[in-house]
Structure 1
């Protein structure tokens, strides 16, 4: 029998976290190529440490995207995040671009040829999840961990009052209390944030951030019993890659569901949409969200599986966690009929061959509002009615 009363915790990290800087740069590189050549193939990794950024990987794209242009875009991204500290400065950091041509062995498996459709860029399993805990159909602990940091980031960039004293690097963690299967309050709140004023104590930092935290959480969620841990180690002045090296793809649980759902293991950032690590994870979220939006379940997990070079998914699996209004086997069949889940079908349905990825690099790839230019298209609920009709 499933537990109905328990504590569950998720974390988030800000756009200035070392790993998130690397995700941002990798996706900025991807956007630069997609903007001029939508059929770009790219697998890009970024490493950052004290005043050093290294961008590597493989690409098949136009020569018009030069090394100099990518260096310029990287500096602009670092500046936008807010790094002008001695150990990591947008203008002074050394930036190396070490991209090389895509492997012909990989290309022959992915490209369409003759009667062969475009294949998956790699093997793997991908999961999508949705639930009714928030209006965005996301798990509450992760949603509010993200929201706290987004509110603080907005205040820092706008230089609102004492929030201007905060730095770009931050982490949050929210422990949510569940009763009868529903989130009802915050048992504990953890926030560590870089600050530019060395004289600030943990208490001073809490005084700055507490109004934003309270504003991010639902009314009544914070009580006298809520535990607070704000900058629990004390001073946090040295942040970003000067304090801890960063790598693309190290925050996959932050990027997805905060541990509330399975993860296939593949990271997203720096990968073009032929790579099912990214595109099929987006498709799985899209399907799960539409299932819940259609009222077919309160919770839905969808798994997709692929083999490199093969166009169709090897399997489609649905788990409605005992909350479903429909047969799961029937749902699996209908999902594959309503949406073409080949790599090409996913890219076309969700219109993924656009420069829409740098914005996904922080505060989660899911639970966001779809953008007018096609960003976060996988958050639409435009097939909910079709699902209901097909399963009626």
Structure 2
């Protein structure tokens, strides 16, 4: 049926239309008053990368999600009255080079949680970043200087890691202080302990100074939190277990423990930063204890550097990280330049050089195939757009 011309509408119909219009107006006013909102946002980050040695050869390739992980997301709030709000976040991670999903193919692999918030605290439940990301990661200047300069394998989680089945409670900030606690259910039938995780954190911010600490404990880490010693650290043994072997004839390496079953992984992180004029100075420390097979091993990282906002559009960041694990040590320096083309689009250049001790195949963060030598260098030119 076609639409009815307005001139053929009767008086009764016109009165009905006016009533509906009035009701719609009242409803719209009510929604605006309730301050409900849903926001669509995202980041796309793509550019070429040079790697000096990946599995025995240099590599020039197009890479993405280097400075910022590619994503699109939905976040929203509903004002429930009395200072209470319902909040949610759904965030998808994707590969801009081929359109595939990241985070193991999860639709909302970067975040998927719902929660409640008032003037005193925020409670969220679902898949979400841990307390190390919330309280100490921003003090690690290596994260500012290069997207490839995560600490070895990001096993201290300062590069930003997620936990499934988690409940997180964050206090509001009171006189510069904030605290948080988190628990991740293992969801394993017959065991409350297995594959569970928990943590606590606190921070203080006042003026140009901020500092924070966070502790996380992962029991039987698996899935996205599983430990792959050779791929993440370039080591051939871990907790007394052989994790990789090298063919003496060809030099080819076989990773024999891509998901090493350890009993627990405990992480303590500390960090602080200070803004002086237009330079932010930062330091961070992490201590990671691995327990399994009747042994304990420790990975430590010391991170320091600065970010200089040279002009409103141009910044420079530099960092140095020294790490130790068992009898091995790692030295890594990184440098990054960033230039804003507009408020939402920037171009950046980053470089990182890693040297490991003898007997270790150098690998930056968890980004590349390990080198066949004790050094690895990367250079990346990226274009990033935020919407």
Task: Give TM class, smaller chain.
Answer: under 0.3
Larger Rg: 2
Structure number with higher relative contact order (C-alpha < 8 Å, ≥ 6 residues apart): 1
- The two structures have a TM-score, normalised by structure 1, of 0.24
More helix as a share of residues? 1
